[in-house]
């Protein structure tokens, strides 16, 4: 595997914590766990769909963070490094997901067909204020749709659109080129959009 | 009967925009391309609908919210911390 492209680190909100952990890892570890347990658990939920798998992921990630912290060289934000570990655990596990067969998504399969592209208004689910659209049922549908994404698209979508990492950061975390991240993200979004569209067409 | 329907996306500009819509939403395109796209959006309802549904899809992902961590996980992590703290 090639080394990821290096980007200059402006400021790392975890710099202090990482310094403390270098001095006394056992003492700094509880704070480190506190800082990332919830984010990693939610990352795991989105990636695996099953709470127990997400719990395993969080535990394995922290264990690896503990083991390899000495090797962390500040070449990236600490948070990105943590997610790099989490993502690689996810991808290694690659349990045969019953939701999502591994396949390529092509742009063409998402091109609006004549029928859906007729001149019409923006549908209510895209036009109404967000808080009038988002409810628990939709959250469930969205989660289902995310889990139905092939894994290599899912991980990009979760990092970019759920966790809020930038294109460059996601590329770094996944060892991909930024161009590749963009391609996968766009197809993943179109995939979700189609799922949402058919959900709302049938409500 | 082969009347051209302008909005079944055969237009290359529609296809081009369709391919770059995420980059447009993410502000990753340069200014002249953005202006070109905005010009097209003003006159193409199909692309406008396409863009707003895609934009909403992204917003829903961002706003879907994070679950609290379950007690079972808190316990496991406390145990992990205790194990690692042992000399
Ligand atoms: Zn168009």
Over residues A142-154, mean pLDDT:
94
Residues A84, A26: one domain? yes
As a whole number of Å, the end-to-end CA separation of chain B is 83
Is the pLDDT at A101 greater than 90? The verdict is no
Burial of A203 (0-12, 13-18, 19+ CB in 10 A): exposed
Residue A140 structure tokens:
């469930």
Task: Determine, yes or no, domain membership for A168.
Answer: yes
A137-151, B4-18, B20-34: range with lowest mean pLDDT: B4-18
Range of the domain at B28: 11-85
- What's residue A26's pLDDT? 85
State the CATH number of the domain containing residue A183.
1.10.10.10
pLDDT in tens, B42-85: 999 999 999 999 999 999 999 988 889 999 999 999 999 999 88
Residues on chain B touching A189 (C-beta within 8 angstroms): 22, 54, 57-58
Residues on chain A touching B46 (C-beta within 8 angstroms): 112, 117-119
Q: What is the DSSP letter of B6?
A: T
pLDDT band at residue A6, thresholds of 50, 70 and 90?
low
- What's residue B4's pLDDT? 43
- What's residue A84's pLDDT? 96
Closest CA to A122 of B52, B78, B37: B52
Task: Determine, yes or no, domain membership for B2.
Answer: no
> Is the ipTM beyond the 0.90 threshold?
no
Which member of B61, B69, B80 has the closest CB to residue A63? Answer: B80
Is the pLDDT at B21 greater than 60? The verdict is yes
Rounded-to-integer distance, Cα A68 and Cα B34, Å:
44
Rounded-to-integer distance, Cα A18 and Cα B20, Å:
39
How many domains is chain A partitioned into structurally?
2
Mean of all residue pLDDT scores within chain A: 89
A41-45, A120-124, A174-178, A191-195: range with lowest mean pLDDT: A120-124
How many domains is chain B partitioned into structurally?
1
Residue A84 structure tokens:
């790099």
- What's residue B2's pLDDT? 37
Residue with tokens 């970019």: A160
State the CATH number of the domain containing residue A34.
1.10.1740.10
Task: Determine, yes or no, domain membership for A102.
Answer: no
- What's residue B86's pLDDT? 78
- What's residue B10's pLDDT? 56
pLDDT in tens, A156-196: 999 999 999 999 999 999 999 999 999 999 999 999 999 99
pLDDT in tens, A67-98: 999 889 888 999 999 999 999 998 887 655 55
Over residues A20-39, mean pLDDT:
92
Report how far ligand 1's centroid is from the alpha carbon of A56 (Å).
Answer: 46
pLDDT band at residue A112, thresholds of 50, 70 and 90?
confident
Is the pLDDT at A114 greater than 60? The verdict is no
Range of the domain at A20: 15-96
Task: Determine, yes or no, domain membership for A10.
Answer: no
What is the CB-side half-sphere exposure of residue B56 using CA atoms within 13 A? 26
pLDDT band at residue B7, thresholds of 50, 70 and 90?
very low
As a whole number of Å, the end-to-end CA separation of chain A is 46
Residues on chain B touching A126 (C-beta within 8 angstroms): 49, 52-53, 55-56
Angle at A200 between CA A199 and CA A203, to 5 degrees: 90
Three-class secondary structure assignment of chain A: CCCCCCCCCCCCCCHHHHHHHHHCHHHHHHHHHHHHHHHHHHHHHHHHCCHHHHHHHHHHHHHHHHHHHHHCCCCCCHHHHHHHHHHHHHHHHCCCCCCCCCCCCCHHHHCCCCCCCCCCCCCHHHHCCHHHHCCHHHHHHHHHHHHHCCHHHHHHHHHHHHCCCCHHHHHHHHCCCHHHHHHHHHHHHHHHHHHHHHHHHHC
Which member of B46, B64, B74 has the closest CB to residue A117? Answer: B46
Look at the pTM and tell me if it is higher than 0.90: no
Task: Determine, yes or no, domain membership for A110.
Answer: no
Three-state secondary-structure class, residue B5? coil
Rounded-to-integer distance, Cα A189 and Cα B19, Å:
12
pLDDT band at residue B11, thresholds of 50, 70 and 90?
confident
Over residues A29-57, mean pLDDT:
94
Asked whether A21 and A28 are in contact (CB, 8 A), the reply is: yes
Residues on chain A touching B29 (C-beta within 8 angstroms): none
Asked whether the beta carbons of residue A66 and residue B84 sit closer than 8 angstroms, the reply is yes
Asked whether A172 and A7 are in contact (CB, 8 A), the reply is: yes
Asked whether A101 and A38 are in contact (CB, 8 A), the reply is: no
Higher pLDDT, A97 or A58: A58
Q: Which of A96, A127, A161 is where one domain is finished? A: A96
Which member of A45, A117, A196 has the closest CB to residue B57? Answer: A196
Task: Determine, yes or no, domain membership for B30.
Answer: yes
Task: Determine, yes or no, domain membership for B6.
Answer: no
- Alpha carbon of B82 to those of A21, A29, A93, B85: distances in Å? 16, 10, 26, 5
């Amino acid at each position: 595997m090639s080394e990821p492209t290096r980007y200059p680190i402006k400021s790392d909100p975890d710099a202090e914590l990482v310094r403390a952990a270098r001095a006394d890892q056992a003492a700094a570890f509880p704070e480190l766990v506190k800082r990332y347990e919830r984010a990693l658990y939610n990352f795991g939920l989105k990636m695996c769909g099953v709470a127990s798998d997400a719990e395993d992921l969080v535990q394995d990630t922290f264990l690896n963070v503990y083991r390899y912290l000495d090797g962390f060289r500040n070449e990236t934000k600490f948070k990105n490094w943590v997610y790099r570990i989490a993502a690689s655990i996810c991808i290694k596990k690659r349990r045969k997901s019953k939701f999502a067969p591994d396949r390529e998504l092509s742009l063409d399969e998402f091109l609006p067909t004549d029928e859906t592209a007729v001149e019409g208004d923006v549908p209510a689910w895209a036009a109404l204020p967000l808080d009038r659209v988002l409810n628990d049922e939709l959250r469930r549908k969205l989660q289902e749709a995310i889990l139905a994404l092939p894994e290599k698209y899912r991980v990009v979508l979760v990092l970019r659109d759920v966790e809020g990492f930038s294109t460059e950061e996601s590329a770094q975390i996944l060892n991909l080129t930024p161009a590749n991240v963009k391609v996968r993200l766009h197809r993943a979004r179109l995939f979700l959009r189609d799922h949402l569209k058919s959900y709302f067409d049938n409500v | 009967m082969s009347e051209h329907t302008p909005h079944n996306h055969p237009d290359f500009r529609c296809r081009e925009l369709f391919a770059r819509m995420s980059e447009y939403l993410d502000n990753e395109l340069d200014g002249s391309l953005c202006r070109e796209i905005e010009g097209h959006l003003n006159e193409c309802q199909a692309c406008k609908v396409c863009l707003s549904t895609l934009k909403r899809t992204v917003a829903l992902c961002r706003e879907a919210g994070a679950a609290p961590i379950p007690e079972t996980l808190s316990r496991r992590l406390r145990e992990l911390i205790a194990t690692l703290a042992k000399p």
